[in-house]
Chain A
Amino acid sequence: MIVMAKRSNSGKVQYGEPVGVVTAQSLGERSTQMVLRTFHQAGVSSEVISAGLPRLIEIVDARKRAKHALMTIRFDKGIAKDYERVKEIKQKLEEVSINTLINGFDENLKNGTMLLHFDKDAMSAHSITLRKVMEILSSRFPDIEVSNEGNEVTIRYKKRKDVRGVRTAFVHVRDEIVSGVEGIQKAVINSEGETFYIAVSGSNLKGVMDIEGVRPENIYTNDIFEVLSVFGIEAARNAIANEIAYVFDIEKASMNFKHIALLADTMTYSGTIKSVGRHGVAGDKESVFARAAYEETIKHFVNAGFFSETDRLRGVAENIIIGRQITVGTGKVKLMIKNEELERFKPEDGEKE
């Protein structure tokens, strides 16, 4: 117990320790070593995941659309070892558009007709029947007529329209998604010992959660904003921390998790994800001087003038600007003197001061 207490106390930071600066230095030093590299993740064939510095910047900038969204879907024991079940789920995931099901097409824009040559093998691979495709098409596109001759499907545009209009309509038809979850481009089954899991490029938490056999706690996505919208800010904070830790991990750059956690907390404590920079964390600083010293100097001073802002000089940057001791480290403590106590130390008569 004593040992534990000792360990616990030695892990505490000192009063006035500038943890933010130390975090910035630790992260900054590590990231200068990182090279602009993209890795090929094993399994998700030919899908590049962004890693290293670009990914780190993506996270701290709080970009709404991550470049390479990825999901990992694991299963409970019952399903995980059953390849057929996993495969079944996988087929429900992948986005299948008409384009992937056809060998080619011939369009006659003048007459407003298009002939789609459906590929039997592609259809069976995605376990989709021609009838179902035709049903989907005719229900979603009220303006067209669908008829078939074997695997050749003819699409006729009912209304007279100019060539360009017909063309765009046909492009929409070919891009139409007939099965799968929206936003999921590719799914690959990987194995981990005896169990199988699905690695997915693209992310759609809600869509995947709806699929039978998938449980929410078994899904992982690297899309932080999706985590925020589905699970809330606490989960998003953990997602940020885990994703940053992962970036450093694959670069083999060791890093105390407390630093990463502090960064994640700073980005999320307000309830929304704030980026590190002008529009986020730095722009929300209390001090006018600190904000003006960072970026957009004039804008901040003018606004401070308009709204008669007060700078309480509590941070580091503003105190350096005016030339005071900073309020961290040795500058955090102040010497207080009780005047009444001082009376006791008054020099006696005849004694020199």
Chain B
Amino acid sequence: MGKESALCTIFVDGKNIGRVSDGAAFATEIRANRRKGLLSGEINVAFIKELNEVHINADKGRVRKPYIVVENGKSKLDDQLMEKVRSKEIDFNYLVRRGIIEYLDAEEEENIYAAMRENEINSKTTHLEVDPAIMFGVTVNGSVFPEFNSVGKHPLAWQLMKQAQALPVMNFSNRFGARSFLLHYPQAPLIDSVTYRAANLSKHANGQNLIVAVTTYHGYNMSDAVVVNRASIERGIGRSSFFKTYADEERRYPGGQQDRFTIPSPTVEGYEGEQAYTKLGEDGIVEEEMEVNEGDIVIGKVSPPRFLEEQTAFGAGIDKSRDNSVKLKAGESGVVDNVMVTETSGATKIVKVVVRSEMFPEHGDKMGSRHAQKGVIGSIIPQEEMPFTSSGIVPDLLLNPMGLPNRMTAGHILEMLGAKATCVNGIIGDGTPFARKGNDLIKEYGDVLERSGYDRYGNEMLYDGRTGRRLKSEIFIGPVYYFRLSQMTKLKLQVRSRGPVQILTRQPTEGKPRSGGIRFEEMQRDALVGHGASILLKDRMLDQSDKDSVWICRECGDTGYMDRVKNVPVCPMCGGTSKLESVEISYAFKLLLDELKSMHILARINLKSD
């Protein structure tokens, strides 16, 4: 083939536009022009040696990352420019415009040789990282000392931070989100990072600095559980509000009928009695600051009858409208926080009612730190029974030491040490990724602590609050930034002994809002079969579920019915009345028999007398 393949192919946004003889030089020229400002800074060019192709990209959707340009072994961002940056004479965008900092996409990054730090620059270096921490995004930089944690823990830590209750917005009292949380006493962390400060995240803090002692407490904090000081909860640790919005609209139906927000009149179908509507105002909507509990109606609504014929059959005089009010579901309660009445663009009236409830930390609520150290509250202990230090400090939270070694979250320990030093010298610690070396940090924090009379590794003598005796070993104690996570007992706790059943199958309903039971599925069934526990299995599958009795004809095996007038069972197939037996089966099986009949299959049941 020869000649032709020696030419380098040029692609612009993936489209072949021509060829040049020297691709590398061509790419370099484009780059030089871009740095001069002759070409847009949004253009990226990559020379792919293996294919002998130049890819020029200017389309949308590329992820790009800034780099400092290095020329002749020297960073273009020299001391002179840095001085100007410090004095705020020039800003980041100025440097980008001047080609000192440039944004590169994934393809162009293949062509560069970047140094992580300035002292690592050599003759081959083409670019310098702005900062090692830039390899992470905003969320990731929200965690401190991530470089000391096991790599697999990072995604879990960020997942956790997303679930933290916080002060997300300042106008929370005007918002009507479906579900939201509000932390009452948010605190800025004692250790933060450069990005945390830059994004001003402390204005929307999502945690609190708790004094944590790494010790056990009579087994109440085993396997990731934590023990919390009751007095700390009373002082406001983890206290939050939960907002839930109930919404409804006046829907329009064909035939000119529509829903009405009102207090339903006693003639309406499904009327629940005068008592049920006492919390509603004249307009059929609950009053603000009204206390509401499960089953209470917050929006009164009357809907037109489901079938038009109903109305015509009985004449216009009879009101066959239905009560279609919005109720609080099982386990829900609170105080009405806010009510909004407005219209959609289609001129449909809509109502939104926000119910607020205060959530105190309780057993089973989830807590977590910025290092994927999460656990539920195993016990809430009175302050008097918690261990205390010689200076009288009582920890807010007791963390089990067994949770630390195998998870390899050294950042958690470093945060405790650093935060303790912060408490002593009053300077907010810096936990920016890759900013400092671990040994330097330990030394620095240790020196601060030692100067103030603390142990340089953060250990202290603790005394048992119940006996007053000194604990045998020294305990590592220090502040950690802890989150209260959105999983809470109050929103999940559910029990059922009797309750509603599904209409179709007559089996118990499922799920918390319908006060349902816990499913007894195939695997659970197999467990009982495996044990040979036949009567327990029958109890679960039949007696406590959809037990029903049907009349079965001895003659033809078909199902019969009870003639209530003559009080005799009748078989519609053979017309007899004497040869029917009452048989206990599951209602689902009866349903199956009926559905089989609809498929023109008659399942005959041969009864056998015992």
Contacts and interface: CB of A to CB of B under 8 A. Distances in A.
A96 B222 CA distance: 65
Contact of B541 (A298, A320, A330, A331): A320
B601 A329 contact: no
B402 interface: no
A322 B596 contact: no
A33 interface: no
Contacts of B535: 325, 330-331
Interface in A311-325: 316, 320-325
A326 B601 CA distance: 26
A323 B529 contact: no
Contacts of A220: none
Contacts of A24: 526
Given A301-B599, A321-B589, A323-B586, A330 B542 contact: no
B601 A301 contact: yes
Contacts of B235: none
Nearest to B608: A313
A317 B366 CA distance: 40
Given A323-B585, A323-B586, A328 B599 contact: no
A304 interface: yes
A329 B529 contact: yes
A302 interface: yes
A25 B601 contact: no
B532 A302 contact: no
Contacts of B525: 320
B204 interface: no
Contacts of B602: 305
A232 B328 CA distance: 69
A330 B601 contact: no
Contacts of B526: 21, 24-25
A14 B323 CA distance: 59
A277 interface: no
Interface string B547-582: 100000000000000000000000000000000000
B538 interface: yes
A187 B541 CA distance: 57
A321 B586 contact: yes
A329 B533 contact: yes
B519 interface: no
Contacts of B592: 321
A213 interface: no
Contacts, number: 72
A104 interface: no
B537 A302 contact: no
- B: interface residue count bin: 20 to 34
B585 A329 contact: no
A322 B585 contact: yes
Interface in A264-319: 298, 301-302, 304-305, 316
B532 A301 contact: no
Interface string A19-31: 0011011000000
Contacts of B527: 25
Contact of B529 (A14, A18, A305, A322): A18
A18 B530 contact: yes
Contacts of B541: 320, 323
B584 interface: yes
A76 interface: no
Given A323-B584, A323-B589, A316 B596 contact: no
Nearest to A305: B601
A92 B601 CA distance: 63
A326 B529 contact: yes
Given A323-B542, A325-B535, A316 B589 contact: no
Nearest to A327: B534
B15 interface: no
B532 A17 contact: yes
Interface string A317-353: 0001111111111111000000000000000000000
B599 A326 contact: no
A16 interface: yes
A18 B530 CA distance: 6
A18 B589 contact: no
B601 A316 contact: no
A324 B608 CA distance: 14
Interface range for A = 20 to 34
Nearest to A331: B534
A329 B586 contact: no
Contacts of B542: 323
A316 B529 contact: yes
B529 A21 contact: yes
Contact of B534 (A21, A298, A328): A328
Contacts of A21: 526, 529-530
Contacts of A324: 538
B600 interface: yes
B599 A16 contact: no
Contacts of A321: 586, 588-589, 592
Nearest to A24: B526
Contacts of B538: 323-326
Contacts of B472: none
B469 interface: no
Contacts of A322: 585-586, 589
Contacts of B60: none
Given A17-B532, A21-B529, A326 B537 contact: yes
Contact of A330 (B533, B585, B600): B533
Given A21-B526, A320-B537, A323-B541, A328 B532 contact: yes
A329 B531 contact: yes
Nearest to B541: A320
A316 B526 CA distance: 10
A19 to B, nearest CB: 10
Contacts of B589: 321-323
Contacts of B533: 329-330
Nearest to B526: A21
Contacts of A331: 532, 534-535
B558 to A, nearest CB: 14
Contacts of B529: 18, 21, 316, 326, 328-329
Nearest to A326: B534
Contacts of A320: 525, 537, 541
A69 B584 CA distance: 54
Interface string B498-528: 0000000000000000000000000001110
A282 to B, nearest CB: 14
A325 B599 contact: no
Interface string B357-397: 00000000000000000000000000000000000000000
Nearest to A329: B532
A29 to B, nearest CB: 11
A322 B601 CA distance: 17
Contacts of B531: 329
Contact of B530 (A25, A304, A323): A25
A330 B534 contact: yes
Contacts of A302: 599, 601
Which 4 A-B residue pairs are closest in the complex by CB-CB distance?
A: A329-B532, A331-B534, A323-B586, A305-B601
17 contacts: A18-B529, A18-B530, A21-B526, A21-B529, A24-B526, A25-B527, A301-B601, A305-B596, A305-B599, A305-B602, A320-B537, A322-B586, A323-B542, A325-B538, A328-B532, A329-B533, A330-B533
Given A302-B601, A323-B584, 13 more contacts: A25-B527, A298-B599, A301-B596, A301-B599, A305-B596, A320-B537, A322-B585, A324-B538, A328-B532, A328-B534, A329-B532, A330-B534, A331-B532
Interface of B: 525-527, 529-535, 537-538, 541-542, 547, 584-586, 588-589, 592, 596, 599-602
Interface of A: 14, 16-18, 21-22, 24-25, 298, 301-302, 304-305, 316, 320-332
